[in-house]
Structure 1
Amino acid sequence: MANEIKLLLAEDEAALGQIIKESLETRNFDVILCDNGEKAFEKYKSETPEILVLDVMMPKKDGFTLAKDIRAIDDTIPIIFLTAKSQTADVVEGFSIGGNDYLKKPFSIEELIVRIHNLVSRTKEQKTAQVLEIGDYTFDFPKQQLQFKSADAIHLTHREAHLLFHLIKNKNQVLDRSLILNKLWGTDDFFSARSMDVFITKLRKKLKADENIQIINVRGFGYKLTD
């Protein structure tokens, strides 16, 4: 069908992988299933999927390593991690290396589908978005690049770019913490909130060349970008 979403699923638990594949295929997805990271990397290069769903713990090449390899050549494809891990450090690491979302096992297929559609639509939004100005910076959202005057462009991760996009669009207004967590992370739980704090810190560092730009933490509400 013309509006199918082509998805690469990497999951080494055979029964779980097949259940996810069959469930998604009944909901208008074209699913490529691989049982280890090495196979998934080869299929990624040959099949051009629109989104990746990667188990973290896999043989031959784990999900984090696979994501790093893919991010080295592709900055925009959405990545969702499936993980049995729940430690904050593991979740933050997943986002830091370029993941866009994560689901802790066990999870519902319905929740996975919602997150897939959300990420795919955001990626399409990014490709049609405009170049924005903030202080002495130029922010090219489609290219995920931030440039200060005539200096070299700074590359942003997928999540950094989307977070900055929403901060700029709501400049001088408080960006509701729960709203942006649900939109970009799919949940406003503790792990996601900690992850967003990390990304806010990274954006502050990348915007520090213009001393007038501030990302203010409005306690109990969210963040406000001013220039």
Structure 2
Amino acid sequence: MKKKILYVEDEPSLGKIVFDTLRLQGFEVSWEQDGGRVMDHFESFEPDVCVLDIMLPNMDGYELCRSIKQQRPQLPIIFLTAKVNTEDLVQGFEAGGTDYIRKPFSIEELIVRINNQLQLQQLHGGHHIGDNQPEEITIGKYKFRPQRYELEAPSGIINLSSREGELLQMMASKGSQIIERKELLLTIWGDDSFFNSRNLDVYVKKLRNYFSEDENIEIQTLRGKGYLFLVR
């Protein structure tokens, strides 16, 4: 069965080249030029990977990514953009992106990135972290339910993405032991590339924000080594 690519790009000439090339490579491709129209047929198409430009009419790539992640939290999303600032990179990961390619790019690189995301998706689908995870873990004032990717805070329920849940489970399982940065990257993302490293930074920041209601919980960064997940 062909893998499905949702491709969103408003530049006609580039879009046509990428669309035709991906189809020649054996993918089924849905190409949309208007960000505001994507969600109308998103569920019926059921993509395996999304490739999104950031500057789009009616709904930009960041907002579109957030909308997609609300419906399919584990769906890989690759951003294509001419933006080069680190802030843009971080914003893309915060929105839920899993990879990032700067324009101009080669079609060969895009295909490699797509195949990499598909392989990682298959890995996570067949081999989840902690197959025998407990139903509930108490962390200070919080309760973490790893099987449902759910964190219960004093103020209410926080629904975690799959990678947020996996990251929290790995950190919590180490107790007061150091967990190496490279171990997190290889286990959760499958490689320790620069892009995934920045993605990890975003997710650690998110977890710190989630635990802000309990001053006795701290995710401590040990530069050059990794992290300590401390519950005093």
Asked if the contact 1:6–1:31 (Cα under 8 Å) also holds between the matched residues in 2, the reply is yes
Supply the AA of the counterpart residue of 2:91.
E
Q: In structure 1, how many angstroms separate the alpha carbons of the residues matched to 2:99 and 2:146?
A: 19
User: 1:151-166 to 2 correspondence within 5 Å?
Assistant: 152-166=156-170
Q: In structure 2, how many angstroms separate the alpha carbons of the residues matched to 1:19 and 1:166?
A: 42
Q: Which moved more, 1:109-118 or 1:126-135?
A: 126-135
1:139 matched residue in structure 2: 144
How far has the Cα of 1:134 moved from its partner? 4.9
Deviations 1:20-66 (A, max 9, x none): 44444455533222222133222213322233221112233221121
Q: In structure 1, how many angstroms separate the alpha carbons of the residues matched to 2:228 and 2:113?
A: 30
Q: Which moved more, 1:63-72 or 1:87-96?
A: 63-72
What is the TM-score normalised by the length of structure 1?
0.76
Asked if the contact 2:78–2:101 (Cα under 8 Å) also holds between the matched residues in 1, the reply is yes
Asked if the contact 1:103–1:112 (Cα under 8 Å) also holds between the matched residues in 2, the reply is no
Q: In structure 1, how many angstroms separate the alpha carbons of the residues matched to 2:168 and 2:138?
A: 10
Cα separation, partners in 2 of 1:63 and 1:187, compared to 1, 3 Å: farther
Partner secondary structure for residue 60 of structure 1: coil
Cα separation, partners in 2 of 1:104 and 1:165, compared to 1, 3 Å: farther
Q: Structure 1: where are the runs of 5+ without partners?
A: none
2:96 matched residue in structure 1: 98
Partner secondary structure for residue 160 of structure 1: helix
User: 1:71-220 to 2 correspondence within 5 Å?
Assistant: 71-105=69-103, 106-107=105-106, 108=109, 109-119=111-121, 121-122=123-124, 130=133, 131=135, 133-136=137-140, 137-148=142-153, 152-181=156-185, 183-184=188-189, 188-189=193-194, 193-210=197-214, 212-220=216-224
Cα separation, partners in 2 of 1:220 and 1:57, compared to 1, 3 Å: same
What is the TM-score normalised by the length of structure 2?
0.75
Cα separation, partners in 2 of 1:112 and 1:145, compared to 1, 3 Å: same
Supply the AA of the counterpart residue of 1:113.
N
Cα separation, partners in 2 of 1:99 and 1:46, compared to 1, 3 Å: same
How far has the Cα of 1:97 moved from its partner? 2.3
Q: Which moved more, 1:73-82 or 1:22-31?
A: 22-31
Q: In structure 2, how many angstroms separate the alpha carbons of the residues matched to 1:134 and 1:27?
A: 48
User: 1:26-41 to 2 correspondence within 5 Å?
Assistant: 27-41=25-39
How far has the Cα of 1:125 moved from its partner? 5.0
How far has the Cα of 1:128 moved from its partner? 9.4
Supply the AA of the counterpart residue of 1:166.
M
How far has the Cα of 1:146 moved from its partner? 0.6
Q: In structure 2, how many angstroms separate the alpha carbons of the residues matched to 1:135 and 1:158?
A: 19
